[in-house]
Amino acid sequence: MGFVRGLKCRECGREYPVDPIYVCEFCFGPLEVVYDYDGIKKVLTKEKILSRPQNLWRYKELLPIDGEPTVGLHSGFTPLVRAKKLAEHLGMKELYIKDDTVTHPTLSFKDRVVAVALSKAKEFGFDTVACASTGNLAHSVSAHGAAAGLKRYIFIPATLEQSKIVASLAYGPNLIAVDGNYDDVNRLCSEVANKHNWAFVNINIRPFYAEGSKTQGYEIIEQLGWKTPDAVVVPCASGSLLTKIWKSFKEMKEIGIIDNVNTKVFSAQATGCSPIVAAIKEGTDVIRPVKPDTIAKSLAIGNPADGYYATQVIKETGGFGADVSDAEIIDAIKLLAETEGIFAETAGGVTLASAMKLIDSGHISKGDVTVLCITGNGLKTKEAIEGHTGEPHHIDPNLKSFEEVLKKITSA
């Protein structure tokens, strides 16, 4: 019943059947899911989408599964928050936060991609799932995999924030802490994946997994009243989310749900790991890998697999990129929390701080309808802002003590 025609190499165009494979055997290019858009156009209408439950599967025809979805039936459809106070602070006319800090069940946008990956893994008949992760993916595979009754092997860099490690262990997976950075973990996992017949969500399931990111884009369109924004700012690690958001906009046009797409796509990275933004600023599409050094660990991928395609999207749409320091990330996390009541993880700080630079430099105009993709919850990386917030006011349990403190607070 699905609308997937097959897999196709993004580099050389060779076609492959729907299998748990991820690279072109000929040129090693990544494989991309190809759909029958004419078929989808006939069945998927605004009315049909609106009639369905508010989760990411309301766009299921545009996702790479054959049967009914089995995982993540409550994931997605997060709020698109009109950020009036933040907009005022930045002098913007119309600013929105796509708030994936509240994605079910593990509070990051990874719940979207894992919902799709595990639904597909079950269709393929796998009983074991695995992933290499900077944290959020570990949470999501641990949680969705538990609910789906799958065995789980989760590989993480041993240096990950303690809160992320504990939050994964709660779901009882096999957690493998590797003495190395994310790129080391990834390289190891590609060797493990060669040996064991598991569904590695970001390796042999990657073409399907990555498609889940598109749902953030579909939702932005729907929640803006069936149109695309003028500008969208996306945090980049591998560059996959950015390319998929752009793909989702183009697909909505392809199937006739919207008439045009005039969006500039912007990349946000931490200065300590900015291979994509560096390439954009230099005007090249050659991605030079780096050794990450940033508090934004969920973005600390020095060797971004989709970096090349991210630069192409930015070029095609007339977007740009910005990179920000650790101090700027922390300030932006606090600004978002204090103006909009949204506590984002470090990647969210990267997105907002980068957007502020892009507004200052005029790459984003103050009149542009702008969406910031905030992809994970601040409770996951609270270590990052510890020591950078105010302190509690300690008092004795009596009114006099409170009144004394109150006087200090109000006179400050």
Partner 1 sequence: MAVKVKIPVPLQRLTQGKEEVEGAAGTIISLVNDLDQQYPGLAERISENGKLRRFVNIYVNEEDVRFMKNEETEVKDGDEISIVPAIAGGM
* Site residues (vs partner 1, CB under 8 A): 11, 22-30, 109, 131-134, 137, 182-184, 186-187, 189-191, 194, 202-203, 206, 209-210, 234-238, 240-241, 288-289, 291, 298-301, 303-306, 308, 347, 375
Q: Which is nearer to partner 1, 26 or 402 (CB)?
A: 26
Q: Which is nearer to partner 1, 133 or 258 (CB)?
A: 133
Q: Which is nearer to partner 1, 202 or 228 (CB)?
A: 202
Cross-strand pairs, 128: 151
Q: Which is nearer to partner 1, 182 or 218 (CB)?
A: 182
Contact 328, 295 (CB under 8 A): no
Contact 215, 248 (CB under 8 A): yes
Q: How far is the CB of 202 from partner 1 (least distance, A)?
A: 4
Q: In this structure, what are the phi and psi dihedrals at residue 251, rounded to the nearest 5 degrees?
A: -65, -40
CA angle 395, 397, 400 (to 5 degrees): 75
Smallest CA-to-CA distance from 331 within 312, 350, 358, 316 is with 350
Q: How far is the CB of 203 from partner 1 (least distance, A)?
A: 5
Q: How far is the CB of 269 from partner 1 (least distance, A)?
A: 10
Q: Which is nearer to partner 1, 72 or 235 (CB)?
A: 235
Q: Which is nearer to partner 1, 131 or 148 (CB)?
A: 131
The span from the CA of 271 to the CA of 71, in Å, is: 36
The span from the CA of 184 to the CA of 291, in Å, is: 11
The span from the CA of 308 to the CA of 286, in Å, is: 7
Q: How far is the CB of 134 from partner 1 (least distance, A)?
A: 6
Q: How far is the CB of 327 from partner 1 (least distance, A)?
A: 22
Burial class (CB in 10 A: 0-12, 13-18, 19+), 372: buried
Q: In this structure, what are the phi and psi dihedrals at residue 402, rounded to the nearest 5 degrees?
A: -65, -45
Q: Which is nearer to partner 1, 44 or 298 (CB)?
A: 298
Smallest CA-to-CA distance from 389 within 334, 349, 325, 329 is with 334
Smallest CA-to-CA distance from 292 within 343, 326, 330 is with 326
Q: How far is the CB of 329 from partner 1 (least distance, A)?
A: 15
* Rg value, the chain, Cα: 21
Q: How far is the CB of 184 from partner 1 (least distance, A)?
A: 7
Q: Which is nearer to partner 1, 301 or 342 (CB)?
A: 301
Q: How far is the CB of 28 from partner 1 (least distance, A)?
A: 4
